[in-house]
């Protein structure tokens, strides 16, 4: 007797298993997946992840890895675009589901792309926080810099919550809580709804408000380094501000004083 009707269960190529999902607002969620054993990455890099599309072809998008490189799992922080080809489906993933993850990390928001400095500024809008969620949890960040300033801007306070909790948890973290204490300065702002701190990152830099609030000298090329991740318009505006302070754009192959990466392609939702 031969058994011919039991085919092996079809698995996605480069499949990883979802281990946790948390919804933050109707347009933001985070999730964790298993990490391929062979995957090495530098905190701040991104990979291609996705789901199998209706046509049987993988539907992949770039995602910053939000977890640090020492974490045994991988975390992502995602937008939900209502009619987005990937996220209209991805937002429904549950623990135990499979996603596709191409294990080829790349990106410019890495320590290697910056010259040594005294302070590092992480400047993000919306899901642009994701690479810094990784870098803020990496001990290397605190070994390299005396001060780490996380500026994050969203429209309303609920959209800041993922970052706010992450920073609070970090300060109590057994592993690197001591390194973080006194070094990490968190500066969240909103642009639409009233909160303690308001305003755009560019305005708070050019007016000098953030330097006054945090009792820091004005940004300068000798001491300050910056990493930028937001919409194309945000990145263009911040670049001009940073250049105004005398910082120059670097890359993996040419380390300088600041680096930039797009948080997404398009105008944003
Ligand atoms: P798409 O067709 O890809 O996008 C539709 C439209 O939605 C876009 O034109 C844009 O206007 C808007 N949009 C897309 N992504 C965003 C966003 N994140 N915030 C606001 N508006 C958006 N997305 C994440 O959610 N988290 C990440 O960590 C992340 N990292 C990225 C890293 C890089 C280098 C790049 C280039 C993009 C990254 N993105 C990230 C965006 C991501 O690749 C997809 O665009 C997003 O998941 C939406 O996919 P979609 O197929 O549903 O819609």
Q: What is the mean pLDDT of residues 88-101?
A: 97
Residue appearing with tokens 């922080």? 77
pLDDT value of position 7? 46
Lowest mean pLDDT among 5-9, 151-155, 209-213: 5-9
Check if 61 has its Cβ closer than 6 Å to any atom of ligand 1: yes
Domain boundary among 106, 124, 151: 106
Measuring CA to CA, which residue among 159, 52, 69, 50 is closest to residue 107? 69
CA-267 nearest atom, ligand 1:
11
- Arithmetic mean of pLDDT over the chain: 93
Check if 126 has its Cβ closer than 6 Å to any atom of ligand 1: yes
Task: Return the DSSP state at 252.
Answer: T
- Structure-derived torsion over alpha carbons of residues 34, 40, 45, 49, reported in degrees to the nearest 10: -40
Q: What is the ipTM of this complex?
A: 0.99
pLDDT value of position 11? 65
CA-130 nearest atom, ligand 1:
28
pLDDT in tens, 151-192: 999 999 999 999 999 999 999 988 889 889 889 999 999 998
Are 93 and 67 in a shared domain?
yes
CA-126 nearest atom, ligand 1:
19
pLDDT in tens, 148-161: 999 999 999 999 99
Mutate to test the pocket of ligand 1, among 89, 264, 265, 266 (most ligand atoms within 8 A of CB): 264
Is the confidence at residue 94, as pLDDT, over 50? yes
The CA 265 to ligand 1 mean position distance, Å, reads 6
pLDDT value of position 8? 46
pLDDT value of position 48? 98
Residue appearing with tokens 């004083």? 257
Determine, yes or no, domain membership for 2.
no
Measuring CA to CA, which residue among 163, 160, 167, 175 is closest to residue 72? 175
The CA 143 to ligand 1 mean position distance, Å, reads 32
Token output for 31: 């999730």
pLDDT in tens, 33-56: 999 989 999 999 999 999 998 888
Are 133 and 181 in a shared domain?
yes
pLDDT band with cut points at 50, 70 and 90 for residue 249? very high
Domain limits for position 159: 111-262
The CA 129 to ligand 1 mean position distance, Å, reads 13
pLDDT band with cut points at 50, 70 and 90 for residue 107? very high
CATH code: domain of residue 213: 3.40.50.80
CA-83 nearest atom, ligand 1:
52
Measuring CA to CA, which residue among 107, 135, 112, 115 is closest to residue 123? 135
Query: What is the pairing mode between strands 98-106 and 46-52?
Result: antiparallel
CATH code: domain of residue 44: 2.40.30.10
Phi, psi of 38 (to 5 degrees): -85, -5
The CA 239 to ligand 1 mean position distance, Å, reads 21
Helices (H), 103-157: 130-135, 139-144
pLDDT band with cut points at 50, 70 and 90 for residue 198? confident
Are 142 and 65 in a shared domain?
no
Measuring CA to CA, which residue among 245, 243, 181, 180 is closest to residue 210? 245
Are 167 and 254 in a shared domain?
yes
pLDDT value of position 12? 67
Are 94 and 117 in a shared domain?
no
Distances (CA, A) of 184 to 120, 157, 166: 10, 20, 12
- Structure-derived torsion over alpha carbons of residues 68, 151, 235, 245, reported in degrees to the nearest 10: -120
Are 69 and 132 in a shared domain?
no
Determine, yes or no, domain membership for 224.
yes
Token output for 89: 């489906």
pLDDT in tens, 232-248: 999 999 999 999 999 99
pLDDT value of position 268? 80
Determine, yes or no, domain membership for 169.
yes
Are 169 and 84 in a shared domain?
no
């Amino acid at each position: 007797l031969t058994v011919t009707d039991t085919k092996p269960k079809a698995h996605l190529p480069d499949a990883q298993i979802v281990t946790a999902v948390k919804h933050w607002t109707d347009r933001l969620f985070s999730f964790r997946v298993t990490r391929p054993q062979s995957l090495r990455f530098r905190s701040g890099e991104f990979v291609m992840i996705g789901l199998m599309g209706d046509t049987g072809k993988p539907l992949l998008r770039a995602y910053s890895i939000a977890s640090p490189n020492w974490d045994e799992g991988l975390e992502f922080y995602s937008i939900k675009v209502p009619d987005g080809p990937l996220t209209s489906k991805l937002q429904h993933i549950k623990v135990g589901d499979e996603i596709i993850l191409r294990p080829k990390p790349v990106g410019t928001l890495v320590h290697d792309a910056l010259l040594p400095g005294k302070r590092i500024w992480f400047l993000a809008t919306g899901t642009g926080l994701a690479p810094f969620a990784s870098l803020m949890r990496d001990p290397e960040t605190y070994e390299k810099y005396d001060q780490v300033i996380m500026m994050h801007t969203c429209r309303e306070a609920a959209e800041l919550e993922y970052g706010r909790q992450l920073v609070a948890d970090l300060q109590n973290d057994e592993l690197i809580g001591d390194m973080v204490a006194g070094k990490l300065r968190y500066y969240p702002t909103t642009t639409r709804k009233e909160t303690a701190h308001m305003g755009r990152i560019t305005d708070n830099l050019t007016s000098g408000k953030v330097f006054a609030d945090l009792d820091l000298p004005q940004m300068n090329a000798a001491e300050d380094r910056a990493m930028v991740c937001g919409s194309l318009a945000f990145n263009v505006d911040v670049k001009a501000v940073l250049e105004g302070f005398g910082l120059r754009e670097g890359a993996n192959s040419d380390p300088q004083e600041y680096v930039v990466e797009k948080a997404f392609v398009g105008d944003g939702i």
